């Protein structure tokens, strides 16, 4: 049995990746390493927690000694690295936390892998999961991010992810670490923490709270259903070329305001409320500092070389997502109590 280490597997995307690997590959033993920060939640993995090919390890990637021991004691074939601080607004209020986890944590993991794999380095794989935000923002509607687009990170979050990507490439060049990197657009779907746009709006519509749209709602994001991202990671982990980068995206651009209006329409119908009820909750609030205007991925490489394409249309994915939140109110209540409540009140009053 091949042992695979997935970091950040209790978070939003990581939990979908862990589930996919545990269910699809009985010949792998999946180790999920997660510090269980505010964003990590073992509830996300209840359905697979007793699987014989799954083990949860509580631990912090900022702890180099812990990582060295873990990788020395287990003969992991590969690492899929997702653990990170992931929210732009939090990076604006506390940039250093992003440097510590995203940059130092990644370098710790690279060092631990280098030490543990020193005798047969080429027989392993270090997969680093990153974001399209490292490329900066687009203005020309005909332009898209390519794998060759220069890095131009503009938020503390994207600067920390760009830095971690550079370290991963530097370890490939300097130490011949077998690496692969993917840069994905905005994800949505079940288990998304309600500080990000889509789950925050779903939560607030349910609770009849204001829907805070930053600025005029004209910023554009390219949305991908989270299970499609997990499938892309699976494809790249198995068939990607070592040393290469793959962009992953939904070809699904939405202005924030248009997205919120669509969500309002779906939710009014689902909740049996009068048309226009949710829309009346929209509140324009002060724009995010340094707010990137538009992200849009060109995922041609992944399609032509590895045959991956998104599977879900946006309305279908959004409806599935809304259904999941309506059927999992206990999950929402749980993650919106305690510390998150304090954060929410500070952010939105
Ligand atoms: P998330 O915030 O939902 O989850 C992050 C997970 O990492 C949590 O389970 C948390 O407990 C864990 N973690 C945080 N710090 C840790 C530490 N020091 N040690 C161990 N575990 C720690 O994030 P997400 O949205 O699922 O994103 C996962 C990865 O995918 C990140 O690397 C992110 O940059 C990248 N990404 C996210 C998106 C998106 O739209 N959410 C898009 C592209 C790429
Ligand atoms: P977010 O989900 O935080 O992802 P990212 O900033 O990484 O793209 O935000 C998506 C878009 O929605 C972004 O343009 C900021 C905007 N936004 C709002 O308008 N209101 C909100 O309450 C949040 C959280 C985001």
Domain residue spans in the chain? 2-192+224-252+295-312+340-348
304-179-164-231 Cα dihedral, nearest 10 degrees: 50
For residue range 71-127, list pLDDT tens digits in order: 999 999 999 999 999 999 999 999 999 999 999 999 999 999 999 999 999 999 999
**pLDDT for 343 beyond 90:** no
User: 54, 127, 135, 157: which is the annotated catalytic residue?
Assistant: 157
* Domain 2-192+224-252+295-312+340-348 CATH superfamily: NAD(P)-binding Rossmann-like Domain (3.40.50.720)
Q: Give the predicted TM-score (pTM) of the model.
A: 0.98
pLDDT at 349 over 70: no
pLDDT above 90 as % of the chain: 95
pLDDT in tens, 272-312: 999 999 999 999 999 999 999 999 999 999 999 999 999 99
Query: Is 157 considered catalytic here?
Result: yes
Q: Is 133 a catalytic residue?
A: yes
Burial of 87 (0-12, 13-18, 19+ CB in 10 A): middle
Residue closest by Cα to atom 10 of ligand 2: 197
The answer to whether residue 348 scores a pLDDT higher than 90 is no
How far is CA 313 from its chain centroid? 19
Task: Give 283 Cα–ligand 1 centroid separation in angstroms.
Answer: 28
Active site residue 348: no
Q: Is ligand 2 within 6 A of the CB of residue 88?
A: yes
282 CA from centroid of ligand 2 (Å): 14
Pick the closest to residue 35 from 5, 65, 56, 13 (CA basis).
56
The pLDDT > 70 percentage for the chain reads 99
Residue whose CB lies within 8 A of the most ligand 1 atoms, among 9, 81, 86, for a mutation test: 86
């Amino acid at each position: 049995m091949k042992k695979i280490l997935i970091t950040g597997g209790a978070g939003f995307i990581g939990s979908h990746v862990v589930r996919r690997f545990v269910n699809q590959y009985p010949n792998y033993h999946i180790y999920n390493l997660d510090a269980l920060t505010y964003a990590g939640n073992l509830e996300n993995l209840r359905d697979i927690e007793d699987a014989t090919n799954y083990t949860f390890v509580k631990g912090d990637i900022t702890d180099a000694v812990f990582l060295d021991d873990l990788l020395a004691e287990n003969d992991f074939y590969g690492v899929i690295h997702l653990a990170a601080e992931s929210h732009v607004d939090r990076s604006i209020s506390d940039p250093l936390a992003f440097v510590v986890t995203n940059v130092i944590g990644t370098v710790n993991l690279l060092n631990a892998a280098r030490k543990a794999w020193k005798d047969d380095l080429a027989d392993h794989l270090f997969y680093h999961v990153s974001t399209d935000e490292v490329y900066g923002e687009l203005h020309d509607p005909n332009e898209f991010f390519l794998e060759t687009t220069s890095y131009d990170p503009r938020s503390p979050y994207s600067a920390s992810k760009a830095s971690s990507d550079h370290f991963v490439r530097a370890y490939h060049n300097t130490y011949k670490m077998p690496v692969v990197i993917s840069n994905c657009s905005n994800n949505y779907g079940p288990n998304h923490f309600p500080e990000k746009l889509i789950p925050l709006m779903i939560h607030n519509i349910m609770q009849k709270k204001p829907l805070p749209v930053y600025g005029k709602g004209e910023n554009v994001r390219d949305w991908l259903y989270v299970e499609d991202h997990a499938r892309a990671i699976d494809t790249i982990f198995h068939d990607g070329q070592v040393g290469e980068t793959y962009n992953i995206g939904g070809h699904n651009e939405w202005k924030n305001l248009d997205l919120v209006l669509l969500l309002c329409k779906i939710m009014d119908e689902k909740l049996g409320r009068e048309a226009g009820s949710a829309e009346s909750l929209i509140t324009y609030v002060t724009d995010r500092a340094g707010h990137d205007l538009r992200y849009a991925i060109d995922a041609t490489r992944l399609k032509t070389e590895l045959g991956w394409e998104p599977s879900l249309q946006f309305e279908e994915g959004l409806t599935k997502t809304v259904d999941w939140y309506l059927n999992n109110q206990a999950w929402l209540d749980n993650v919106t109590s305690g510390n998150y409540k304090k954060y929410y009140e500070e952010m939105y009053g």
